[in-house]
Structure 1
Amino acid sequence: MSESLLSLRGVHTHIGAYHILHGVDLEVPAGQLTMLLGRNGAGKTTTLRTIMGLWQASRGQVLFDGQAITAAATPEIAQREIAYVPENMGIFADLTVAENLLLAARRARRLAELDTERLEWLFHLFPALKSFWLHPAGKLSGGQKQMLAIARAMIEPRRLLLIDEPSKGLAPAIIRNMIDALRELKRTQTTVLLVEQNFMVAKALGDSVAVMDDGRVVHRGAMAELAEDEALQQRLLGLSLGAHQ
């Protein structure tokens, strides 16, 4: 197992009167893609938002590269080369595809200053972005918007990507394209924590896995082992891979 780049230790999060995370312990190995799975309402999105500082942990520690970021503000966390792709994608509908990417590129102030080699790499992964470069992002299809959201997080090298349910609502062909793109990202040794409901996506991409239930991590291990154990899938997730092939 690789050394952890991100660690959560006994993390509790309250949202108003609601106690959502109940002592989350999580390790995200450096250079790997870790799946965060669980039924609806298990606390997966809250975990990502807590890591990103959008919601503050009420107890426990969030450590990035050995340093506490528990109380850090979101801009400070982002400056540590951590990027977040929310479930709602968060794109700017009135801006063009190009302008959306430029906003995410902290080292560039004009389109001409974007890293052309990295941009061509993104166009290879997501060809639609090149085709609709000067189109308003709000006019893209749902799948194209998701690709733009992921590309924004990848426009500069990041040490950690947090991605929330990227395949939700997408057609199978778009999901396959997204899997291929994330496999390419894995080859760069970027560390990824990926929340996903589609178990086939999890099996295709995951190195390690953590499963949440009721605001706690209840299982940790290799994704390949969970993918082969239908009884464990049924117990933890209420599904079996065999029924979804």
Structure 2
Amino acid sequence: MAEALLTLEGVHTHIGQYHILQGVDLTVPRGGLTVLLGRNGAGKTTTLRTIMGLWKPSRGRVTFAGRDIAGLSTPDIARAGIAYVPEAMGIFSDLTVAENMTLAARRGPPDKARLDWIFAFFPALRRFWSQPAGVLSGGQKQMLAIARAVVEPRALILVDEPTKGIAPAIIDNMIGAFAELKREGTTILLVEQNFRFAAALGDTVAVMDDGRVVHRDRMAALAADEAAQTRLLGLTLDAHQ
């Protein structure tokens, strides 16, 4: 297995009076795609938000590229090379697609070659380039959210359920885009319920339950083990497709 780019060690996160993460241990190997699975309420989104500094861990270490980032602000974590695509997408509906992309580019106007690469997977973004992002469909907004995260190369991308409510044709384009990101060396941590998508892309998998990681494996091994799927997730992967 490749060296770890990101590790969480004994991470606890409280939100108000609620103790959501209860000692999360997670390793994300460099250059691969790690899938984070679990039933609703297991703590998957809280894990991503804790990594990104949106919620502060009350205990434990979050180490990225050898540096403890648990105490950093969200902007500093982003500057360190981590991008986040939340389930809510986080786009600016009143701004044009072009303006959304420009805001996401830290080093000035987006690079033309990079935009052409993005348009190859998400051609609707070229078509609506000068239109307000609010006119996009749900699937097109998800394309824009992902495109914003990858408008510049990032070391690590955190993605929360990118295929939720998205048409199969767009999902196929996303598979191509994420596969290409992997080929260029980007590390991805993905929360996902579409197991066809997860199995097509995932290298490693971690399963969460009740605020902890309870199972780690190769994604291919879990995809082939229906008994483990039922034990850990309640349903087999086939039942989720």
- Band of TM-score, shorter chain: over 0.9
One-letter amino acid of the counterpart of residue 6, structure 2: L
Q: Distance in 2 between matches of 1:203 and 1:70?
A: 30
Aligned to 2:129: 133
Aligned to 2:150: 154
Q: Distance in 2 between matches of 1:242 and 1:15?
A: 34
The normalised TM-score by structure 2 is: 0.98
User: Once the 2 structures are TM-superposed, how far is the Cα of residue 80 of structure 1 from its aligned partner?
Assistant: 0.4
Unaligned runs of 5+ in 1: none
Q: Distance in 1 between matches of 2:68 and 2:208?
A: 23
One-letter amino acid of the counterpart of residue 30, structure 1: R
Tell me, yes or no, if structure 1 residue 220 matches structure 2 residue 206.
no
Aligned residues: 241
User: Once the 2 structures are TM-superposed, how far is the Cα of residue 244 of structure 1 from its aligned partner?
Assistant: 4.6
Aligned to 2:3: 3
Question: Do the aligned partners of residues 21 and 71 (structure 1) sit closer, same or farther apart at CA in structure 2, a change above 3 Å counting?
Answer: same
Identity of aligned residues (%): 71
Tell me the alpha carbon deviations over residues 138-181 of structure 1, each in whole angstroms, 9 at most, x when there is no partner.
10000000000000000001000000000111122221221121
One-letter amino acid of the counterpart of residue 207, structure 2: V
Aligned to 1:196: 192
Tell me the alpha carbon deviations over residues 43-83 of structure 1, each in whole angstroms, 9 at most, x when there is no partner.
00000000000000000000001110011110110000100
One-letter amino acid of the counterpart of residue 190, structure 2: L
Moved over 6 A (4+): none
Tell me, yes or no, if structure 1 residue 15 matches structure 2 residue 15.
yes
The normalised TM-score by structure 1 is: 0.97
Tell me, yes or no, if structure 1 residue 80 matches structure 2 residue 76.
no
Aligned to 2:141: 145
Q: Distance in 2 between matches of 1:170 and 1:123?
A: 18
One-letter amino acid of the counterpart of residue 86, structure 1: P
User: Once the 2 structures are TM-superposed, how far is the Cα of residue 241 of structure 1 from its aligned partner?
Assistant: 2.6
User: Once the 2 structures are TM-superposed, how far is the Cα of residue 239 of structure 1 from its aligned partner?
Assistant: 1.3
SS of the aligned residue for 1:48 comes to: helix
Q: Distance in 1 between matches of 2:143 and 2:238?
A: 29
The root-mean-square deviation of aligned C-alpha atoms, in Å, is: 0.9
